[in-house]
Amino acid sequence: MNKSISKLLPVLFGFFVMGFCDVVGISTSYAKDDFALSETLAGFIPSMVFIWFLLLSVPSAMLMNRIGRKQMVQLSNLITIIGMLIPFFIWSFASCMVAFILLGIGNTMLQVSLNPLLSNVVSGDRYTSSLTTGQVVKAISSFSGPFIAAFATTWLGSWQYIFPIFAGVTLLSGFWLMCTSIPKEQQEDQKSSMGAILSLLKDKRILLLFFGIFFVVGIDVGTNTVAPKLLIERVGMEVEAAGFGSSVYFVCRTIGALLGSVLLLKIPEVRYFRINIFAALAAMGLLFGYQFVPTEYATITMLSLVGLVGFFCSSIFPIIFSAAIKARPDKGNEISGLMIMGVSGGALIPPAMGAMTDLIGSQIGSLIVLTFTLLYLSFCALWLKDKK
């Protein structure tokens, strides 16, 4: 048992590095002030991180087939370390953009390889629970990002010191993994073409789960984005204070993932999926009434409902990812690449929310888009029920 834990811990610690991609949110605000960027140019910074999930997920799976999962994780760590050191030694807008590009590339490779690497150290019946635990670690990292940036600014003199801090943590993660012996995966087919990997989407189950990942990441990023806007629109809250809505979402999401990592050891995955997605759908439905809640109760009501959406959606990503891997265990690397490509939903759903909001003239438009994503996930949960 102790040996199993010693192999599991360094893999789980890798999920903390995975959470670094979320620091781009707070970094955008700092970079905008430091380099006097326009809103349009500053808004382009997150794309430097997340575009690579769409472009490199499948090629990363192909490379992973050649070099193995553990080696792929280590390569991603190396790229992340290099990226995080560049702006520390060369401080400019260009160097920051290069850092975010390398962070995105490294994080894409890490997510493609770390999720299936976890299956090398845990048994099949505990895989989903372990994935959920990994999401807890990632959520803690995401939640810590703004505090690390504040620490760097207050105590070290500049937010740019977050880069060497992240480089140091990544180096520690890589060293810990290097010192850990992890069983190698069965690699019957070391070569897979882009066409062969994409052809897996012809499998209706894989296609359904791919869009499940697409929409669950969309609901995650979308709800986090709309929370402050609801507070601003309904109660006229200042932007700085309204950011508390995102913090509430992250806290509830972390608590939900932690609870899910325990409950998934006792409750069948598909049943847990159904319970949570319908509860999230109910919370979203109630959120539509935010315009009619008395002003004195509006803030607490909206924060509670946003928190419930985060809480109930927190374990859905690992459930879907696990179901996809279990559907074709012989193609675990390829499936991982496809599923992580679905993370691009986090980049595409928010623009759809914005367009719908402009069309309607209120944040009801955003909630309509988010409801659509939840309806798809509800269908996914019902479909999986008969396919377990």
Residues 6+ apart with CB under 8 A from 296: none
Say which range, 97-106, 205-214, 339-348, has the weakest mean pLDDT. 339-348
**Considering just the CA atoms, what is the radius of gyration of the chain in Å?**
20
What mean pLDDT is predicted for residues 139-146?
79
Kindly state the percentage of the chain with pLDDT values over 70.
Answer: 91
pLDDT in tens, 100-136: 899 999 999 999 999 889 888 887 667 888 888 888 8
Of residues 243 and 151, the one with the higher pLDDT is: 151
Alpha helices in the chain (DSSP H): 2-18, 24-34, 39-43, 45-67, 69-89, 93-118, 127-155, 162-178, 194-198, 204-235, 239-242, 244-263, 269-287, 295-313, 316-327, 332-341, 345-360, 364-385
For the chain, the first-to-last Cα distance in angstroms comes to: 29
The length of the chain in residues reads 388
The mean pLDDT of 321-345, rounded to a whole number, is 85
- CB-CB contact of 373 with 309 (8 Å): no
Q: How far apart are the C-alpha atoms of 303 and 325, rounded to whole Å? A: 35
The pLDDT of residue 261 is: 85
Average pLDDT over residues 177-181: 90
Predicted local confidence at residue 47, as pLDDT: 73
Residue range 156-175, pLDDT digits in tens? 888 889 999 999 999 999 99
Residue predicted with more confidence, 35 or 23: 35
Closest CA to 219 of 313, 319, 297: 313
Report the amino acid identity of residue 354: G
DSSP result, 305-361: HHHHHHHHHTTHHHHHHHHHHHH-GGGHHHHHHHHHHGGGHHHHHHHHHHHHHHHHT
Q: Please provide the average confidence, as pLDDT, over all residues in the chain.
A: 85
Q: Vertex 186, ends 180 and 188: CA angle to 5°?
A: 145
The verdict on pTM exceeding 0.75 is yes
Among 35-39, 52-56, 103-107, 132-136, the minimum mean pLDDT is found in 35-39
Return the DSSP state at 362.
S
Domains present along the chain, CATH in parentheses:
10-181 (1.20.1250.20), 196-388 (1.20.1250.20)
CB atoms within 10 A of CB 284: 23
Burial profile 53-85: b = 16 or more Cβ within 10 angstroms, e = fewer: bbebbbebbbbbbeebbbebbbbbbebbbebbb
Residue-level pLDDT at 125? 66
Nearest to 336 by CA among 70, 63, 115, 130: 115
Q: Give the pLDDT band (50/70/90) at residue 25.
A: low
Please report the pLDDT score of residue 361 as a whole number.
Answer: 86
Lowest mean pLDDT among 68-82, 140-154, 294-308: 140-154
| Res. 386: pLDDT tops 60 | no
Contact 380, 320 (CB under 8 A): yes
Cβ-based neighbours of 155, under 8 Å, separated by 6 or more: none
Q: Can you tell me the mean pLDDT for 194-222?
A: 88
Q: What is the token pair recorded at 299?
A: 């803030």
- pLDDT score at 1: 46
Give pLDDT, residue 281: 96
| pLDDT of res. 116 | 87
Each residue of 238-267: pLDDT tens digit?
765 776 777 788 889 889 988 988 898 889
The per-residue pLDDT for range 326-335, each reduced to its tens digit, is: 888 878 788 8
Assess whether pLDDT exceeds 90 at residue 201: no
CB 198 within 8 A of CB 342: no
pLDDT, position 387: 45
Band of the pLDDT at 188, cuts 50, 70, 90?
A: very low
Q: How far apart are CA 342 and CA 107, in angstroms?
A: 14
Question: Residue 388: pLDDT band by 50, 70, 90 thresholds?
Answer: very low
Phi/psi at 153 (5° precision): -70, -45
Nearest 5°: the CA angle 73, 14, 243 is 125
